[in-house]
Each structure stands twice: as structure tokens, then as C-alpha cells.
Amino acid sequence: MNCPSRRDACIRPTTHGTLYVPDVRGNTGPRWALSDKSSPRILTMQLSPAATLLVGLLTSPALAQSVTFNFNNAPPSTPLPITVNAGGIGANLSGTMQGFSVQQANVMGFTPVGFSGLCIYPSSVFPADLNVSFTKTLTSFSILCAVQDLYCDDGATMKVTAKMNGTIVGTATATAPPDFYWPTTTLSITVPGGFNSVTVHYQSPPPGCGDWGPIFMADNMVVTLAPSPVGDINGDAHVNAADLGLLLGAWGTSNATSDLDHNGVVDAADLSILLGGWTG
């Protein structure tokens, strides 16, 4: 297709089968470009100073959001695996070995400190890991654990391993304080680069204590979403070719997800915002 004038943006095929966006609204301001081996300029755009300022404001990352899972919306007396949702995030919980189930926090006639309502409860006296996978990328995770220490002068140690698409990206430990019965500790980890699953593991028993079990209860899981850069249309915490394809597929429509500047139409201004936030 041909551009009606220099004041209009258009997209058209080139001899390389790629896309080219010609200059819009003047000849001053920075030029945005995306390139690959087939063409040194697949996408280009010339912006005025005012448009450049708008792009800078709109491409600032969104603020991080913390979300709490207290498991009170989980199905009672149900063995894992289960999926629970909070704040637009899905969490799939499963256990190794004989696993866990959803039970009342006071199922044994007492309630560990900080627990309430429903919680994740061990299904046997044998060790088991708690695995949690999330539908969105996170930067931090914490969970309240109650370990089976009985009148010990020391506490057991718990470990959390964070993974991104199956690759380990961080580990952390927490030791329960000495207490007379099922003491609690908050196990937490922060990985600025992001992760989407964790494994909670009973790491070691309280030293010098003979009355303990390698099991734990869990409640009050808190996660922090990875900041989503503007232009991340598919919500994977990156701005890349997948988002570009979605935006181009919605070109000229009022698609709310791709309309990054919220002016009612997906156009060159939205494309410039996406390119300005490009992470690859």
C-alpha cells in the first residue's frame, strides 16, 4: 500500500518480505528501528519532540503488585494438586511423595501462629515437597510454614527454590524459632530477573532435638508480580516479536490490549511505544 502523505503512517511489504514504517510528522526527533539479518531497517519511525516525551512516559514499567493467597477459596479436604487464583494470578499447587491436602488450620486441635482458615496440610508423616507454578512471572515469593518441632530448643530449616521455565534462578532458607509446638517461620525469596515456579522443601531438622518430624504446614502465600513494561501485550514480562505480531494483527482496530496510548485506535503511536519498550 502507498502512504497518502508524509503526515500519515503506513505499513507495507518490502522485497525482503518484511515491514517498513515510513517517517511520520516531521523530520526531527529520534528514529526508532528494529533490525535483523534480512533487513537493516525492518521498522523505522521518526518522532517529534512532543511525541518522544509521550513515548518516554508511556514506556515506564508498571509498579510491582503484591498478591496474597490465603487458601480460603480452596476446596476443603481436597488433596493436591489444586489450582487457586488471586489478583489475576493462577497458582497450581502439587506435592511429591504422599503430598498435601487442604485442611482447616486447627485440624489437629490447635492453630499455628499466623495461620487461620484453610491451609496446606501434610498427608503423611513422611517428607514431601510442595511445588507451586504460576501463570505469571514473579519477582518475589513468601509463604508461612509451620514445622513439626516438638518442645525443641532449636528450629528446623526450610528451603525454597525458584525456577524460570524449569531453570533454577535462586534459592533461600529460613529457620524456625525455638518453640514448644509447631513453630512458624516465613520462607521468602526475591529474584529481580523473575521466576514462575517454586519448590518448598524441608531442608534439615532442628539440631540437638530428638522430637521432630520432616513435615510442614503452609499458609499465607504472598507473591509480587514482575513489573510489566508497557508494550508487553501478551503479559509475559517481555516486549518482543510476539507482542509486535499482536499489535500488527490489530492494526487499525480499537483493540484495547494493543491500543497502548488508549486513543481508541491501534496505529503508529502505539507502534512507537512498543518499540520504545523493546526488551527482546
What pLDDT is attached to residue 2?
A: 46
Residue 179 banded pLDDT, cuts 50, 70, 90: confident
Q: How much is the mean pLDDT over the chain?
A: 82
Residues 123-128, mean pLDDT to the nearest whole number: 97
pLDDT at 16 exceeding the cut of 90: no
The cell for 127 is 517428607
Q: What are the chain's domains?
A: 12-62+235-276 (no CATH), 66-225 (2.60.120)
Categorize the per-residue pLDDT at 221 as very low, low, confident or very high, splitting at 50, 70 and 90.
Answer: very high
Residue found under cell 491451609: 119
Supply the angle between the helices 241-249 and 268-276 in degrees, to the nearest 10: 170
For helices 268-276 and 49-58, the axis angle rounded to 10 degrees is 60
194-207: per-residue pLDDT in tens? Answer: 999 999 999 999 99
Mean pLDDT across 197-226: 95
For residues 145-152, give the mean pLDDT.
Answer: 92
Higher pLDDT pick, 32 / 169 = 169
% of the chain beyond a pLDDT of 70: 77
The answer, yes or no, to whether residue 70 has pLDDT greater than 70, is: yes
Cα–Cα distance measured from residue 35 to residue 51, given in angstroms and rounded to the nearest whole number: 22
H-helix or E-strand spanning residue 164:
strand 157-164
Find the range with the poorest average confidence among 30-34, 72-76, 120-124, 251-255: 30-34
The per-residue pLDDT for range 32-68, each reduced to its tens digit, is 444 444 433 434 444 455 544 444 544 455 556 899 9
Q: Which residues contact 44 (CB under 8 A, 6 or more apart)?
A: 20, 21, 22, 23, 31, 32, 33
Provide the pLDDT for residue 55: 47
More confident residue, 213 or 46: 213
CA distance 55 to 268: 12
Res. 140: pLDDT tops 60: yes
Q: Write the CA distances from 224 to 67, 191, 256, integer angstroms.
A: 6, 10, 25
How does residue 11 score in pLDDT terms, banded at 50, 70 and 90?
very low
Residue 67 has a CB neighbour count (10 Å cut-off) of 18
Instruction: Specify the pLDDT at position 228.
Output: 78
pLDDT value at residue 63: 58
Q: In angstroms, rounded to a whole number, what is the distance separating the alpha carbons of residues 77 and 130?
A: 17
Grid cell in block for residue 185:
517461620
